[in-house]
Structure 1
Amino acid sequence: MFDLRPETGEDWWEVEALYDLCFAPGREALSSYRLRDDVPPVAGLSMVARDPDGILAGAIRYWPVRVAGEKTLLLGPVAVHPTRQGEGLGGGLIRESLHLAEAQGWQRVLLVGDAPYYGRFGFSKLTAVQMPPPTNPERVLGLELVPGAWDGVRGVVERDA
Structure 2
Amino acid sequence: MELVSSIRKTSFRYIYQSDMATAEDVEKLMDLTWRSPETRNFIFWECDNGLISTLQQALDSGKIAFPELQRHWHRHPNLKSDFIRIIGEQEFEWRDLTAKSLEFFRGELELTTAERRRRDNQALAKEIAKNAPEVPLPFGGRLGLHLNKYSTIYTIVGVIVTVISIALAFI
Q: Comparing both structures, which one devotes a greater share of its residues to strand? A: 1
Which has the larger share of helix?
Answer: 2
Q: Between the two structures, name the one with larger relative contact order (CA 8 Å, sep ≥ 6).
A: 1
Q: TM-score, normalised by structure 1?
A: 0.31
